[in-house]
Structure 1
């Protein structure tokens, strides 16, 4: 699901920004610079929304950017894509049952093949998913 919410960016005395989402209680984070604050805001927003979706909670509608005021700092829109966030951050293992020919199983076990690793590599290749570089 894709969302866009207004966030307030308040300068911190020691530098950086405090980011708050007025529509989402407790959704607060901080960043060292504007680009970092936007990145951290997107992460906090995505995490808050994923948690609400997981718990089947009502997600408040986003206020208009023009309805949010701040005495210090500025207001900016932040977007979140919870499907993308889950894809990037959900590394839980899921058990799958599959079938292969007996002779292939014997050969693979003799060779010490890690079935899970091979399946993951093959699926990534088949789906055109490239490994994320750090």
Structure 2
């Protein structure tokens, strides 16, 4: 499902700042406009993905015409000279599969006796390692 939110883009000396007024002034930046747009997509996806994982509801996006970049700039002490509002869209589920949930291969070493005992019990090494890491990191 496509999520679309208005974002304010502010031209600065070092590039562009991007602010999502509907999302607690969530912000990112980029050296170029293309980079800022890419960062805005990543930022939006990460924020909405985190809300979903925490079982929180995302706020309803405002109509683009109701966003005043000058007022947003004043709130955040940003230069409003070259500012504009643009909609940023992302399919959070699709983006997460590629960027947040992709698997990485890890090589590890365990004692031979432990390997044999685990194989005898048909233990899934990847699953056990993931569960242990989540527990250790307090994310379960």
Count of residues paired in the alignment: 93
Q: Distance in 2 between matches of 1:53 and 1:60?
A: 12
Q: Tell me the residue number matched to 1:127.
A: none
Give 3-state SS (helix, strand or coil) of 1:40's partner. helix
Does 2:91 match 1:81?
A: yes
Unaligned ranges ≥5, structure 1: 94-115, 117-134
Deviation at 1:91, TM superposition (A): 2.3
Deviation at 1:34, TM superposition (A): 1.1
Q: Tell me the residue number matched to 2:73.
A: none
Deviations 1:51-92 (A, max 9, x none): 001111011000000000112211000001111111102124
Q: Distance in 2 between matches of 1:26 and 1:8?
A: 10
Alignment of 1:1-134 (within 5 A): 1-12=1-12, 14-71=13-70, 72=80, 73-89=83-99, 90-92=101-103
Unaligned ranges ≥5, structure 2: 71-79, 105-125, 127-140
Tell me the C-alpha RMSD between the 2 structures: 1.6
Once the two structures are overlaid, the 10-residue window that deviates more, 26-35 or 43-52, is: 26-35
**Which ranges of 4 or more aligned residues in structure 1 deviate by more than 6 Å?**
none
TM-score (normalised: structure 2): 0.62
Q: Distance in 2 between matches of 1:3 and 1:56?
A: 17
Q: Distance in 2 between matches of 1:68 and 1:19?
A: 13
TM-score (normalised: structure 1): 0.65
Deviations 1:4-25 (A, max 9, x none): 000000122x321110100001
